[in-house]
Amino acid sequence: MAFLMMRTALSLFKLAWPILSVIWVATPAQAGDDSIIYQKRGHYWEGRKEEPVGGFGLVLLAAQAKANSQTDKTSKQFHARFYLAKPQMVYLTVYEPKKLYWLDKVEPTQPWQPSFYNEFQWPTAPVIDKLGLQLGDLNAIVRLDHDKPNDEETVAPVLLYSSPSPPQKIAGYAFSFYLHKAAKLHWQVLEKNSGKEIAKGELGEKPSGKVFPLEWQATNQMAGEYCLVLSGRLQDNSSPVAHTVYFYHQPVVQ
């Protein structure tokens, strides 16, 4: 049975980036290298920039598909692939907060289509290598139809990989959330159409200004539309807080 696994909060995100940027000290070469500044690079934008968190309450920062496959650490190309069940507007973002890495405004070389063949690839030499980042350092999200966070939104989980060919099967999903105010939270995973509960659990008390990850191991789950629901109450005044994420689970990368 699918289950969600909560892990310890890992790092601060966008609002805390000025603090983290002090911890990370640029080398002399990086400090004087204008080539790593956020800028247009052909059909996408990439580079270092600060990006504050928008929205209120709970904010979804990342939604990624995970596969049991090895990473090619020698690759000079990274890939982002995602599944679409129907034609939709796509807003892809890849980021790493500690070194202020940001990639977005992707213009596809061919239109996004209903399939798992939606792929964006980009070279690591211009920015990623200069910042000393690895594939596992990166976070990603594809928001569908709207580019801004909302309390209820639809995403296409992003599969990041560096091998010449993509992994064949999706093992699960990793989400990251930012909490503006401290709250006590719990979660549910539901089948979207039937409302059938797949899993549930308690997240406990989460402090404000922190990122916390949430993983769903989706082995043996049927393809289809699902929703992840987080809900709870703020600690300061007991006001309700909630966030719903709709996504399509396609277990086979084809």
User: Domain residues of the chain, as ranges?
Assistant: 3-249
Predicted confidence (pLDDT) per residue in 9-68, tens digit: 333 333 333 333 333 345 544 556 899 999 999 999 999 998 876 667 899 999 999 998
Query: In whole angstroms, how far apart are CA 150 and each of 7, 57, 83, 122?
Result: 24, 10, 21, 28
- Per residue in 69-124, pLDDT tens? 767 778 899 999 999 999 999 999 999 999 999 999 999 999 999 999 999 999 99
C-alpha closest to that of 195 among 154, 172, 156, 225 = 225
**Could you give the C-alpha distances from 2 to 143, 187, 226, in angstroms and in order?**
24, 13, 12
| Strand 172-179, strand 139-144: pairing | unpaired
How much is the mean pLDDT over the chain? 87
Sheet holding 240-249, edge to edge: 152-154, 240-249, 224-234, 183-191, 197-206
Fold of 3-249: Immunoglobulin-like (2.60.40)
* Reported pTM: 0.85
